Structure 1
């Protein structure tokens, strides 16, 4: 059984590619897309903060507005079955004394006051010294921005397991897309910043074989 699972997993990774155009006539079933979203929900994050928000945009008018600021998604955005904007939390909310830690680390775990104080001090040490996150908002933003790529990987692999194509994209203007979502969907641009776009659907064209470096060139044993 384990060999079969490994084979299925590698096969899914071989199948996955950055799809440049989707078959607009084919739609992902609600059940399959829920599976993809559930894989995102179960992704790990530093200290369990889950510093992200995923916005599924099916309104084609809004997609067209986003497309105006997304040079990297001209074919994917209008043809995708499902289109997602991934947003990460920003700045002060990510601090050891900020709202995310209060809500997701302390309240959710119902830590007693003495444990909360001890843990908060540990996180402060991590942010202040170990990772140098408190020097600027940019440092905190980058920290959250790196974490949001973990649920992205979950979603891409989950889709590939179902033979659903995908394309993560960074080719867009973050500020303009952030303003657009604030205006159209009342998403607080002071709290969230777009990290990347993801299109899901079924490929229109056949894809070439995957090219990757050899394992020996990527891994060093010590």
Structure 2
């Protein structure tokens, strides 16, 4: 076995070990904080994540203040510990946040927001922007038929999940635990974001919450998944 093969084999083993170790952590050790440097790496993985058409229809809201976290406690059953008799991820996570999904106001084909994104962020020439507008317009109207505000926001949410998956995988490879959280009241969360965080909820809606830190204890039960044969079909 040559050096390149050895390195590749080692990387393969590290990836599988990280995924086997990763679990949806419900209670973190509040005394063990993720370092700023490590979490910056996790956020950089989020920033560099792929999104459909490269439109980046997401933003990340980090909520580190205990008082700010408490604003979500009453209606975030997936993060408030009600299912395990603890203060939950809201009370124990080193880092807690929400990924916001862009609404139709921003992500409808031809929007001013997207034209600015293509020019300022992607730095595309005008002739390429014209091609993007046509292709993305067809994608929305004909290919996937996502034209209503709800449909476009849900599409943005799909991109947010790509981002969160990359954040969690990065964390797992670094020995940092995480939990994706969907157990919250969408309407009350949206209202709280508008009233207490200055979020323009006509443009941005909550997609998913997340928590990072170090587990307080190992899972009680082993990881279970379907077999590869039941998961993947080859043709």
Whole-Å separation in 1 of the counterparts to 2:40 and 2:165: 16
Name the structure 2 match of 1:218.
231
Helix, strand or coil for the counterpart of 2:146?
coil
Name the structure 2 match of 1:182.
194
Q: Does 1:28 align with 2:20?
A: no
Give the 4+ runs in structure 1 shifted more than 6 A: none
Name the structure 2 match of 1:66.
72
Please provide the CA RMSD for this pair. 1.3
Deviations 1:13-52 (A, max 9, x none): 1111001111111111111111111110110001111101
Whole-Å separation in 2 of the counterparts to 1:114 and 1:164: 44
Q: Does 1:47 align with 2:53?
A: yes
Q: Does 1:125 align with 2:138?
A: yes
Helix, strand or coil for the counterpart of 2:56?
coil
Name the structure 1 match of 2:164.
152
Of 70, 78, 82, 2:95 maps to 82
Question: What 5-or-longer segments of structure 2 have no aligned partner?
Answer: 1-6, 81-87
Give 1:112 shift: 3.5
Name the structure 2 match of 1:101.
114
Q: Does 1:194 align with 2:206?
A: yes
Helix, strand or coil for the counterpart of 1:220?
coil
Of 135, 142, 148, 2:154 maps to 142
Give 1:107 shift: 4.1
Whole-Å separation in 2 of the counterparts to 1:215 and 1:122: 36
Of 128, 132, 137, 1:115 maps to 128
Contact 1:56-1:83 within 8 A present in 2 as well: yes
Distance 1:182 1:12, change over 3 A: same
Q: Does 1:170 align with 2:194?
A: no
Give 1:124 shift: 1.1
Helix, strand or coil for the counterpart of 2:78?
helix
More deviation, 58-67/97-106: 97-106
Name the structure 1 match of 2:218.
206
Give 1:182 shift: 1.5
